[in-house]
């Protein structure tokens, strides 16, 4: 289908408060056909999909961001509000309201009724009201707003057919009049006159609604309006028109609620009783720690088997292709560039799927809002949002899903801040580096206090450093780059509900698909570029020398001796090829900058290679030291590192230079996949570039301080 | 809205209402952007609101109004004036 046919279709816009079940209805209507993207320039998710109405007409369904008002206080709400005031009268608006909280959710329906767009009210979750012994009557809402109101249960699909019939029948209306405005009526009418004269292209049916929205706007927004609107708006505000407007609307909402939902006088709901436990000072904190521990454990342990299956499959495919393709540059590109690059992308999928499944359960059940409630004060102390907690701890497993998980943070600035500090959390890909370097430099060291292994002390120190760095960076960035007053907390705590498998599955599937299509293609491209930098230019003369050495070996040696010699030649040729490559030359050029950190050019090449994925540091280091097929437990590589000498004959890997190198890896953003996913989630290159810059400076200065201070104190 | 007046005649704000009690909003001060949003969330003069509980670390508060739960920090609660404070039936 081309975009032109999409553009010609009528739109069905879903509008509603957060937690009203709007997205559940969207999933019901569009199923797996939904597409997810970003609104241009902002980190707000755009969800749309197609639907065939019962009369055969195809419409585009748009799931607008949840909002409480048309006077926005966040980028998400601004998009929802703008969509309404830019909407044509062909589009149909379905406002989803929660029958359990009609006294608030009906407010948004009255706002849309104050415009002329075709409107249907979907009265959701009527089953819960009926389950509590209540009854609903849609008549009063239909008569008062002049629209159809259809009871539905979005999670079970009940009432959806009737809703779609009402959508087919929906027509442009005359806007709902608010008769009781009293002394506010005059000032509001003057704002409407200003809107009509400043924006002549706005049709008459939107003018009163737009005028009222401006009266409730922030001062910053008013400053950007033409004077013809801003002046009467300020006068209306001074006359108290804003509060009067909301009061009149809520008087209508209160009256309609009382006549729509008939509930017996209730005792405390199940949700309130659950909260007595889950937000209890001691019990609640204990349960919270257990839940977070399970998530942490699940992320580390749960994804691992799938990841290793994928890694084995990728290397098997690579091996098979290498076997059938003629040896040469094309084989190198396909096996080491493309197939390894695809592997780099796919290995993230299990962790992303798992994290979004767990997050989906937390979010849909209502517990995530309680996490934010319980942690608001603690996280606020360093300028972070309460909702940043789960993404932050999942950063200990992997930054890629963790950065994607920042979507659960509504405030855009808080979201960016969290994205910028997550890569400082010591992810599991850094662990092999700590293991290898510790083994190389501390192998002979006695346990601390006689019984604590040095490796354990090193690991604890690195994980602590990473947490301190992340928290410190958040505090500093909040006061500098992302300065601004802390956003006011007005957080709805939705009732506890069972998550539905359908919503969880769609949520996970969309996240994985977005990752594969958007971030994945960028990661693949960067993998291929890095492979080329580590492989080219090739040294033809050297290749000829190695070929003749191989021929010579074949004539002089046989059996195990020949195998050993051929293996040695292969490692030596790989070592020479890396030295000769662009990366090898860059590594040499960087040596003067690396020497004060206790590193030499070979480590520099490893650091460049680590950019593809931190694990690649080890295989690149293996190649540059002439050891093929190295991993972190490989004894030959460890021994070579332990013996490696600098040009002046001193040892390259000492306890001090080893610690400096590990500190560098804790603090550096040596991961192109992280940068690719921050680019995707923040919507611009500005943030990944800043992220890479600040973390590189932090890593360099950190390693420099450790090494130079260590030397000055007499360590080696 | 008739003003009942708090016991002792002094103005009470929502941050001073103990957990497990309810009160009726009489006025909302503070910055306009925030007071307007509180109005739009249904917290306006005349609304009956309960302070359900306080977060384990002492802030924020959980309020209950209009059939839903809303969490706000103490700083914002101090801008909300109330009267008719009473214990919630449990």
pLDDT digits (tens, 9 = 90+) for A138-157: 999 999 999 999 999 999 99
Across the strands, what pairs with A500?
Answer: none
Q: Which of A120, A124, A122, A54 is nearest to A93 (CA)?
A: A120
Q: How far apart are CA A23 and CA A96, in angstroms?
A: 10
Query: Could you report the per-residue pLDDT of A630-684, keeping only the tens digit for each?
Result: 677 777 788 888 888 887 888 888 899 999 999 999 999 988 889 999 998 888 8
Q: How far apart are CA A376 and CA A388, in angstroms?
A: 10
Q: How far apart are CA A674 and CA A687, in angstroms?
A: 11
3-state SS assignment for residue A345? helix
CB contact under 8 A, A376 and B39: no
- Chain A environment of B41 (Cβ under 8 Å): 68, 104, 490
Query: Could you report the per-residue pLDDT of A157-173, keeping only the tens digit for each?
Result: 999 999 999 999 999 99
Asked if residues A141 and A260 have their Cβ atoms less than 8 Å apart, the reply is yes
Q: Residue count of chain B, please give it.
A: 90
Chain A contact present for B38, CB below 8 A: yes
Q: How many CB pairs under 8 A join A and B?
A: 120
3-state SS assignment for residue A656? helix
Distance of CA A116 to the CA centre of its chain: 37
Residue A567 pLDDT: 81
Sheet holding A490-493, edge to edge: A490-493, B68-72, B61-65, B48-54, B21-28, B80-87, B12-13
CB contact under 8 A, A73 and B71: no
Distance of CA A30 to the CA centre of its chain: 23
Query: Could you report the per-residue pLDDT of A15-74, keeping only the tens digit for each?
Result: 999 989 999 999 999 987 788 777 776 667 788 999 999 999 999 999 999 999 999 988
As to burial, measured by CB atoms within 10 angstroms (0-12 exposed, 13-18 middle, 19+ buried), residue A487 is middle
Chain A contact present for B33, CB below 8 A: yes
In order of A56, A178, A262, the CA distances from A158 in angstroms are 20, 33, 20
Chain A contact present for B59, CB below 8 A: yes
Lowest mean pLDDT among A175-179, A187-191, A291-295: A291-295
| Partner residue opposite B44 with nearest CB, options A237, A250, A377 | A250
Contacts of A47 (CB under 8 A, 6+ apart): A23, A26, A34, A35, A36, A62, A63, A510
- Chain A environment of B39 (Cβ under 8 Å): 242-243, 246-247
Which of A104, A112, A248 to mutate: most B Cβ within 10 Å? A104
Query: Could you report the per-residue pLDDT of A207-228, keeping only the tens digit for each?
Result: 999 999 999 999 989 999 999 9
Residue A266 pLDDT: 62
Neighbours of A169 (CB within 10 A): 12
Q: What angle do CA A403, A405, A408 make, to 5 degrees?
A: 130
Pairing of strands A10-16, A92-98: parallel
CB contact under 8 A, A377 and B55: yes
Q: How far apart are CA A419 and CA A682, in angstroms?
A: 8
Tokens linked to A461: 């120190």
Lowest mean pLDDT among A76-80, A106-110, A141-145, A469-473: A76-80
Cis check for the bond before A331: say yes or no (omega within 30 of 0): no
Query: Could you report the per-residue pLDDT of A514-562, keeping only the tens digit for each?
Result: 888 877 888 888 888 888 888 888 888 888 888 888 888 888 888 888 8
CB contact under 8 A, A247 and B40: no
Tokens linked to A530: 């890095």
Neighbours of B55 (CB within 10 A): 23
Query: Could you report the per-residue pLDDT of A621-641, keeping only the tens digit for each?
Result: 877 787 766 677 777 788 888
Chain A residue closest to B46 (CA)? Answer: A247
Chain A contact present for B27, CB below 8 A: no
More confident residue, A346 or A686: A686
Tokens linked to B10: 């002094």
Q: How far apart are CA A269 and CA A266, in angstroms?
A: 7
Q: Which of A634, A665, A651, A703 is nearest to A434 (CA)?
A: A665
CA distance A108 to chain B (A): 9
A464-478: average pLDDT: 94
Decide if pLDDT at A620 tops 70.
yes
CA distance B70 to chain A (A): 4
Q: Which of B18, B20, B24 is nearest to B6 (CA)?
A: B24
CA distance A377 to chain B (A): 6
3-state SS assignment for residue A113? helix
Q: How far apart are CA A155 and CA A166, in angstroms?
A: 19
Neighbours of A696 (CB within 10 A): 15
Which of B43, B62, B68 to mutate: most A Cβ within 10 Å? B68
More confident residue, A433 or A5: A433
Q: How far apart are CA A683 and CA A687, in angstroms?
A: 9
Query: Could you report the per-residue pLDDT of A197-211, keeping only the tens digit for each?
Result: 999 999 999 999 999
Residue A140 pLDDT: 94
Return the residue matching tokens 């007499």.
A714
Tokens linked to A666: 């804790």
- Chain B environment of A218 (Cβ under 8 Å): 32-33
Long-range residue pairs from A3-8, CB within 8 A, at least 24 positions apart, any chain: A6/A50, A6/A60
| Partner residue opposite A101 with nearest CB, options B32, B38, B66 | B66
Decide if pLDDT at B2 tops 60.
no
| Partner residue opposite B36 with nearest CB, options A242, A275, A493 | A242
Q: How far apart are CA A601 and CA A89, in angstroms?
A: 66
Q: How far apart are CA A264 and CA A135, in angstroms?
A: 9
Asked if residues B45 and B34 have their Cβ atoms less than 8 Å apart, the reply is no
Decide if pLDDT at A381 tops 70.
yes
Decide if pLDDT at A368 tops 90.
no
CA distance A425 to chain B (A): 25
Lowest mean pLDDT among A108-117, A351-360, A688-697: A351-360
CB contact under 8 A, A493 and B71: yes
Distance of CA A53 to the CA centre of its chain: 34
Which of A67, A81, A246, A379 to mutate: most B Cβ within 10 Å? A246
Residue A1 pLDDT: 43
3-state SS assignment for residue A41? coil
Residue A623 pLDDT: 79
Q: How far apart are CA A588 and CA A474, in angstroms?
A: 34
Q: How far apart are CA A250 and CA A229, in angstroms?
A: 26
Q: How far apart are CA A299 and CA A397, in angstroms?
A: 6
| Partner residue opposite B40 with nearest CB, options A216, A218, A219 | A216
Handedness of CA A429, A431, A436, A437 (dihedral sign): positive
Chain A contact present for B66, CB below 8 A: yes
Residue B37 pLDDT: 94
CA distance A112 to chain B (A): 14
Which of A243, A283, A380, A410 to mutate: most B Cβ within 10 Å? A243
Tokens linked to A545: 């020398």
As to burial, measured by CB atoms within 10 angstroms (0-12 exposed, 13-18 middle, 19+ buried), residue A266 is exposed
A350-379: average pLDDT: 88
DSSP A649: S
Lowest mean pLDDT among A44-58, A361-375, A380-394, A439-453: A439-453
Return the residue matching tokens 């994925």.
A613
Chain A contact present for B19, CB below 8 A: no
Buried b (16+ CB within 10 A) or exposed e, A430-461: bbbbbbbbbbbbbeeeeeeeeeeebbebbbee
Query: Could you report the per-residue pLDDT of A591-608, keeping only the tens digit for each?
Result: 899 989 988 888 888 888
| Partner residue opposite A73 with nearest CB, options B37, B67, B68 | B37
Sheet holding A45-52, edge to edge: A35-38, A45-52, A58-63, A10-16, A92-98, A119-124, A148-151
3-state SS assignment for residue A11? strand
More confident residue, A336 or A508: A508
A440-458: average pLDDT: 78
Q: How far apart are CA B90 and CA B85, in angstroms?
A: 16
CB contact under 8 A, A493 and B62: yes
Residue A45 pLDDT: 78
Q: How far apart are CA A701 and CA A597, in angstroms?
A: 9
Q: Specify the DSSP element, H or E, that contains B83.
A: strand B80-87
CB contact under 8 A, A489 and B71: yes
Chain A residue closest to B34 (CA)? Answer: A488
Confidence of residue A268 (pLDDT cuts 50, 70, 90): low
User: How confident is the prediction for chain A on average, in pLDDT?
Assistant: 87
Contacts of A360 (CB under 8 A, 6+ apart): A499, A503, A504, A507, A508
Tokens linked to A168: 């087919």
Asked if residues B24 and B46 have their Cβ atoms less than 8 Å apart, the reply is yes
As to burial, measured by CB atoms within 10 angstroms (0-12 exposed, 13-18 middle, 19+ buried), residue B30 is middle
Query: Could you report the per-residue pLDDT of A539-551, keeping only the tens digit for each?
Result: 888 888 888 888 8
CB contact under 8 A, B42 and A104: yes
Asked if residues A311 and A406 have their Cβ atoms less than 8 Å apart, the reply is no
Torsion of CA A491, A499, A517, A65, to 10 degrees: -40
Pairing of strands B68-72, A490-493: antiparallel
| Partner residue opposite B58 with nearest CB, options A104, A285, A377 | A377
Residue B1 pLDDT: 38
Q: How far apart are CA A190 and CA A218, in angstroms?
A: 19
Q: ipTM above 0.95?
A: no
Query: Could you report the per-residue pLDDT of B29-84, keeping only the tens digit for each?
Result: 989 999 999 999 999 999 999 999 998 888 899 999 998 999 999 999 999 999 98
Lowest mean pLDDT among A56-65, A127-136, A323-332: A323-332
Which of B25, B55, B58 to mutate: most A Cβ within 10 Å? B55
Confidence of residue A499 (pLDDT cuts 50, 70, 90): very high
């Amino acid at each position: 289908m081309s975009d032109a046919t999409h553009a010609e279709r009528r739109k069905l816009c879903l509008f509603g408060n957060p937690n009203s079940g709007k997205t559940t209805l969207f999933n019901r209507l569009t199923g797996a056909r939904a597409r997810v993207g970003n609104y241009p320039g902002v980190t707000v998710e755009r969800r749309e999909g197609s639907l065939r109405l019962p009369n055969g007409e195809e419409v585009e369904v748009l799931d607008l961001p949840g909002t409480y008002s048309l006077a926005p206080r966040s980028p998400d709400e601004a998009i929802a509000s703008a969509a309404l005031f830019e909407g044509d009268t062909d589009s149909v608006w379905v406002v989803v309201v929660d029958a359990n909280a009609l006294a608030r959710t009906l407010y948004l329906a009255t706002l849309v009724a104050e415009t002329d767009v075709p409107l249907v009210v979907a009265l959701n979750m009527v089953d819960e009201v009926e389950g509590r012994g209540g009854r609903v009557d849609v008549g009063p809402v239909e008569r008062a707003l002049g629209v159809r109101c259809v009871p539905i249960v979005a999670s079970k699909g009940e009432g959806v057919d009737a809703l779609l019939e009402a959508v087919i029948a929906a027509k442009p209306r005359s806007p709902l009049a608010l008769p009781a405005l009293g002394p506010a009526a005059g000032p509001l009418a003057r704002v409407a006159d200003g809107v009509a004269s400043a924006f002549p292209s706005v049709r008459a049916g939107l003018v009163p609604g737009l005028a009222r929205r401006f009266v409730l706007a922030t001062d910053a927004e008013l400053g950007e309006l033409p004077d013809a609107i801003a002046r009467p708006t300020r006068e209306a505000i001074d006359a108290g028109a804003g509060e009067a407007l909301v009061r009149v609307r809520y008087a209508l909402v209160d009256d309609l609620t009382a006549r729509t939902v008939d509930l017996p006088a209730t005792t405390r709901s199940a949700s309130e009783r659950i909260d007595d436990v889950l937000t209890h000072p001691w019990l609640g904190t204990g349960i919270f720690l257990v839940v977070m521990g399970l998530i942490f454990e699940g992320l580390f342990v749960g994804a691992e088997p799938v990841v290793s299956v994928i890694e084995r499959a990728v290397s098997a495919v690579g091996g098979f292709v290498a076997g059938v393709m003629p040896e040469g540059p094309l084989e190198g590109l396909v096996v080491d560039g493309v197939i390894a690059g695809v592997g780099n992308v796919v290995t993230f999928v299990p962790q992303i799927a798992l994290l979004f499944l767990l997050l989906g359960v937390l979010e849909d059940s209502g517990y995530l809002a309680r996490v934010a409630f319980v942690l608001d004060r603690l996280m606020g102390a360093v300028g972070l949002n309460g909702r940043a907690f789960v993404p932050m701890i999942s950063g200990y497993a992997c930054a890629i899903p963790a950065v994607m998980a920042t979507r659960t943070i509504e405030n855009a600035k808080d979201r960016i801040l969290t994205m910028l500090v997550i890569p400082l959390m010591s992810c599991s890909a850094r662990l092999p580096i700590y293991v290898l370097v510790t083994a190389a430099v501390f192998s002979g060291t006695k346990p601390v206090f006689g019984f604590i292994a040095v490796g354990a002390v090193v690991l604890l120190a690195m994980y602590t450093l990473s947490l301190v760095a992340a928290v410190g960076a958040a505090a500093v960035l909040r006061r500098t780059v992302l300065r601004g007053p802390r956003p006011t907390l007005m957080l709805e705590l939705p009732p506890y509900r069972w998550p539905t498998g359908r919503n969880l599955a769609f949520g996970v599937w969309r996240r994985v698909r977005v990752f594969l299509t958007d971030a994945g293609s960028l990661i693949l491209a960067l993998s291929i570029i890095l492979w080329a930098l580590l492989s080219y230019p090739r040294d033809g003369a050297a290749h000829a020398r190695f070929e003749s050495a191989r021929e010579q070996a074949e004539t002089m040696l046989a059996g195990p001796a020949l195998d050993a010699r051929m293996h040695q030649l292969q490692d030596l040729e790989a070592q020479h090829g890396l030295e000769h490559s662009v990366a090898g030359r860059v590594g040499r050029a960087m040596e003067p900058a690396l020497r004060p950190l206790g590193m030499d050019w070979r480590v520099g090449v490893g650091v460049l290679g680590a950019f593809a994925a931190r694990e690649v540091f080890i295989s690149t280091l293996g190649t540059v030291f002439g050891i093929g097929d190295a991993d972190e437990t490989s004894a030959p590589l460890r021994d070579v590192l332990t013996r490696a000498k600098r040009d002046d004959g001193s040892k390259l890997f000492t306890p001090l230079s080893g610690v400096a190198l590990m500190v560098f890896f804790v603090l550096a953003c040596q991961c192109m996949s992280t940068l690719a996913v921050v680019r995707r989630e923040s919507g611009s290159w500005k943030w990944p570039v800043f992220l890479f810059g600040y973390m590189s400076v932090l890593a360099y200065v950190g390693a420099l301080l450790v090494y130079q201070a260590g030397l000055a104190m007499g360590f080696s | 809205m008739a003003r009942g007046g708090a016991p002792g005649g002094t103005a009470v704000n929502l941050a001073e209402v103990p957990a497990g009690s309810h009160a009726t909003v009489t006025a909302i001060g503070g910055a306009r952007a925030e007071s307007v949003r509180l109005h739009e969330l249904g917290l306006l003069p005349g609304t009956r609101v309960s302070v359900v509980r306080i977060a384990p670390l002492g802030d924020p508060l959980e309020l209950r109004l209009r059939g839903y739960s809303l969490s706000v920090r103490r700083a914002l609660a101090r801008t909300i004036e109330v009267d008719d404070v009473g214990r919630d039936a449990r």
